[in-house]
Amino acid sequence: MTRPDVIVIGAGILGASAAFHLAERGHRVVVLERGAPNREGSGTTAGNLHIQAIHTRRPGQDVPVDSARLLPLQRRASEHWSRIEERLGADVELRRSGGFMVAETAAQEAELREKHDWEREAGIPTEVLTGDEARKQLPLLSDRVRAASWCPLDGYANPLLITPAYLAAARRHGAELHPFTPVTAVERVGAEYKVRSGDRSWTAPVVVNAAGPWITEISAMAGIPVHMSPVAIQMHVTVRVPPVLHHLVQHIGEGMSVKQVSAGNLLIGGGWPAAELDMKGRSTVSVPSMAGNLAQAGRILPFLGGLRLLRMWAGPLAATPDEMPVIGEVPGHPGFFVAGGTYAFTLAPVWGDTLARLIAGESPADPVDDLGPGRLSLDTTTPVSP
């Protein structure tokens, strides 16, 4: 198929979700991926489903996330995730066993209570617990935990399974996937876009740029400025142990997330930066970040100190200058859509559905005008406050 209805660039979780939702609606879809699908950020993430409000900063992050703004989208994402395995016809190791967001100080406890008010307004069920109440429910928590918020909807899915499941479902609806097909040119030809990869080309009225950290590069090929701020973050995984931690545990004031996956490993993350971002190869992990992340996690969950670290890895994150997601059609460039940014794993089902609706000329289920790519077209050299 050389003349599809939509060309999706990027076969990570966002591109895969977009391809599925578009193909399901009957669009002829071609997906182009520079390497192996799910090899970059989507396959190296923690796989957390963040339904309660998130911590506003990861280590080294200058601009805070507008957590309250994301909550309606997180509620919508929860609805999508609740039926995703049925829709995709696949087991993606979805676990919705709930999560604790912990606080160690009075100021952090005040943040928990403020976000609880936001969550109640957004229709997300949470409960603020004292440290003793939280330890009664999860005895693994240390005495340093002053308070915690509990959300029964938090959980995780296996990032190595969900993107392939989306792609397989999209292909059952007729979508074509072309791995190891790096885009080398994008040009506007009349009312359509011609996308090239070497001596091959595809032409369509709609392009979805879901290339993650390479969004800026792909957009620039079409003469479209979209300024992203990609970074590399890292994850840490322990040896396998019998089931001990049944919930997602996060920190309200510092970047930390801990969970035990189905295989028995403890996965420790939270957005700690890698040593460098390598856009052409594999990013290098940071030993200081490893030490900081593990010390932080061990402070909250002391049992982790007795486990051997198995491995760690770094993966790219398609962040934006204002640390908020980007979704929508680029102003002045009809048919050219961009999707990426903050908490893309959690929001992937929402963004796939949103893109399908926007491309069909419909209103999205939740307003996203303020998250459009127009705000990233400015030639800024400093972070933009949300």
**Domains located in the chain, CATH noted:** 1-96+154-230+318-386 (3.50.50.60), 97-153+231-316 (3.30.9.10)
pLDDT tier for residue 378 given thresholds of 50, 70 and 90:
low
Give the residue-averaged pLDDT of 59-80.
91
Write down the pLDDT at residue 386.
Answer: 36
Q: What is the pTM of this model?
A: 0.93
pLDDT tier for residue 141 given thresholds of 50, 70 and 90:
very high
Residue type, 110: A
pLDDT digits (tens, 9 = 90+) for 270-316: 888 888 777 777 788 999 999 999 999 999 999 999 999 999 998 88
- Listing from the earlier edge strand, what are the strands of the sheet with 248-251? 127-130, 147-151, 99-103, 248-251, 257-260, 266-269, 231-238, 309-317
Give the DSSP H or E segment for 57. Answer: none
Give the residue-averaged pLDDT of 32-39.
92
Give the residue-averaged pLDDT of 171-183.
98
Write down the pLDDT at residue 270.
Answer: 82
Give the residue-averaged pLDDT of 348-367.
97
Q: Which of 259, 287, 222, 235 is nearest to 98 (CA)?
A: 259
Write down the pLDDT at residue 24.
Answer: 98
Backbone phi, then psi, for 312, in 5-degree steps?
A: -140, 160
Radius of gyration of the chain from Cα atoms? 20
pLDDT tier for residue 166 given thresholds of 50, 70 and 90:
very high
Q: Is the pLDDT of residue 167 over 50?
A: yes
Pairing of strands 257-260, 266-269: antiparallel
User: In terms of C-beta density within 10 A (0-12 exposed, 13-18 middle, 19 or more buried), how is residue 342 classed?
Assistant: buried
Pairing of strands 248-251, 200-204: unpaired
Q: Is the pLDDT of residue 148 over 50?
A: yes
Give the residue-averaged pLDDT of 101-120.
96
C-alpha span between 300 and 288 (Å, rounded):
19
Q: Coil, helix or strand for 20?
A: helix
Q: Where is average pLDDT lowest: 174-178, 301-305, 376-380?
A: 376-380
Cβ atoms within 10 Å of 60's Cβ, excluding its own = 12
Largest CA distance in the chain: 65
Structure tokens at 98: 């709930």
